[in-house]
Amino acid sequence: MPNDVAIIGVGQSSFVRNYEGSIRELSFEAYKEAMLDAGLSNEDIGASIICSAPEYDKQRSPAALVAEYLGLIPQPTFYVETVCSSSTTGIRVGYSLIKSGLHDLVVVLGFQKMSEISSADSQERMGRGADIMWESPFGTMMPAYYALHARAHFDRYGSTEKDLALIRLKAAKYGKLNEKAVFRKDLELDQVLNADPIATPLKRFDCCANADGSSCLILASAEKAKELSKKPVWIKGLGSAIASQTMTGRETLDGLSCAREAAKEAYNMAGMTPQDIDVAEVHDCFTIAEMMAYENLGFAEPGKGPELIKEGETYIGGKIPVNVDGGLLSKGHPIGATGGSQVRTIVLQLRDEAGDIQVPGAETGLVHNIGGVGIYGNVIIMGR
């Protein structure tokens, strides 16, 4: 795969439970960091792509508001939404704009200020990500949906609550090293296993937390990347797929078909296999989501995901380190910003700039970002 599009700048705000400023100020935090990282000024940027889930935004059409505040006028801006995978969808759009020749430098910025509405309202709006005629009116919410996936995996493969708890312990171990994460505490196995149930078999620590935050990436054409960056990280493969919005439209619930199909497309485009990946960020909105990702991405055979975590293979030093920034379980999940945050982590890994969580010698990295309950799936493979 030729090196046609690179990421030359990354930024992220701290992810917090209650950000005191506005969405424009929140967005600026990540934008400023990314622009300083890339060494660019506003005039250099050809276009911006703003990504969020609109049901949380009081501002209608926030892309124009954010672009104006960032000083990106009169450059065109675009608003992209695929729920929790919005900012990786934004990367796919930005990649296309550069490959088409329309622009050389594109900003992809994701944000979400989820604290503007109550937790109850947030859960109800998340539930409306499912079919509003046949599912969400009956009270289905995100924890319940992923509990269905957990039960299906348990029933088919014999995985257990302890297997999921081990994933949460890994998230806590690395989350405490991430200064931008919401949850920065160690956990013990008994704490996780004996926590309050949320949607059986998922308990409190099996679920990520809502958060406010922003992330920003600067995409560049090959010519611009070589001119402007000493350490460009190249986009090697992009995969994207969707699945039925209703659970009844899916053949099985023990994995996510959108992730499998997106991974297949990304590996084919990159000319790589799962064995070529040195470090991965996967969408662990719930512990079972990370377990399914191991298998959907080909890091483990179906049903063998528990062996990876039990044998420590997804820790630094293992066969395939996964979510060594704490993942969503520790960082929090500001919907529009999540995918960009995952990509930022991989970019820092591939530039040898990840500090205490650096995977030695990482040359290729993968991001797996899911929107809704396995509706949208994006997989991005990057390399030095």
Angstrom CA distances, 267 to 81, 165, 198, 229, stand at: 24, 30, 36, 26
Query: What are the structural domains, with CATH classification, of the chain?
Result: 5-118+211-233 (3.40.47.10), 119-208+235-383 (3.40.47.10)
Q: Which helix (H) or strand (E) holds 279?
A: strand 279-282
Structure-token pair, residue 23: 């969405």
Structure confidence at residue 123 (pLDDT): 72
Residue 280 CA to residue 170 CA, distance in Å, equals 14
SS3 per-residue string spanning 9-48:
EEEECCCECCCCCCHHHHHHHHHHHHHHHHCCCHHHCCEE
Closest to 111 in 3D by CA, of 65, 179, 172: 65
3-state secondary structure of 224: helix
Structure confidence at residue 116 (pLDDT): 82
- In this structure, are residues 51 and 108 in contact, taking their beta carbons and an 8 Å threshold? yes
Q: Residue 251 carries which DSSP code? A: S
- Decide: residue 72, CB within 10 A, 0-12 exposed, 13-18 middle, 19+ buried: buried
Residue 335 CA to residue 63 CA, distance in Å, equals 15
Q: At what angle do helices 142-157 and 119-127 cross, to 10 degrees?
A: 60
- In this structure, are residues 300 and 255 in contact, taking their beta carbons and an 8 Å threshold? no
Q: Residues near 76 by Cβ (< 8 Å), separated by ≥ 6?
A: 47, 48
Q: Which helix (H) or strand (E) holds 339?
A: helix 335-350
Sign of CA dihedral 102, 367, 339, 150: positive
Closest to 382 in 3D by CA, of 241, 281, 260, 237: 237
Q: Which helix (H) or strand (E) holds 78?
A: strand 77-80
Residue 107 CA to residue 260 CA, distance in Å, equals 28
Structure confidence at residue 1 (pLDDT): 58
Q: Which helix (H) or strand (E) holds 235?
A: strand 233-242
Question: Torsion over CA of 300, 337, 201 and 320, rounded to 10 degrees?
Answer: 20
Structure confidence at residue 132 (pLDDT): 77
Catalytic residues: 84, 333
- Within a 10 A sphere around the Cβ of 133, how many other Cβ atoms? 8
Residue 128 CA to residue 55 CA, distance in Å, equals 10
Residue 213 CA to residue 180 CA, distance in Å, equals 10
Can you list the residues of the chain whose pLDDT is less than 70?
Answer: 1
Residue 136 CA to residue 246 CA, distance in Å, equals 10
Cis geometry, peptide bond prior to residue 74 (ω within 30 degrees of 0) = yes
Q: Could you tell me whether strands 77-80 and 47-51 are parallel, antiparallel, or unpaired per DSSP bridges? A: parallel
Tens of pLDDT, residues 162-211: 999 999 999 999 999 999 999 999 999 999 999 999 999 999 999 999 99
Structure confidence at residue 166 (pLDDT): 98
Long-range CB contacts (within 8 A, 24+) of 98-104? 98/4, 98/5, 98/219, 98/220, 98/221, 99/4, 99/5, 102/46, 102/47, 103/46, 103/47, 104/46, 104/220, 104/221, 104/223, 104/224
Q: Residues near 230 by Cβ (< 8 Å), separated by ≥ 6?
A: none
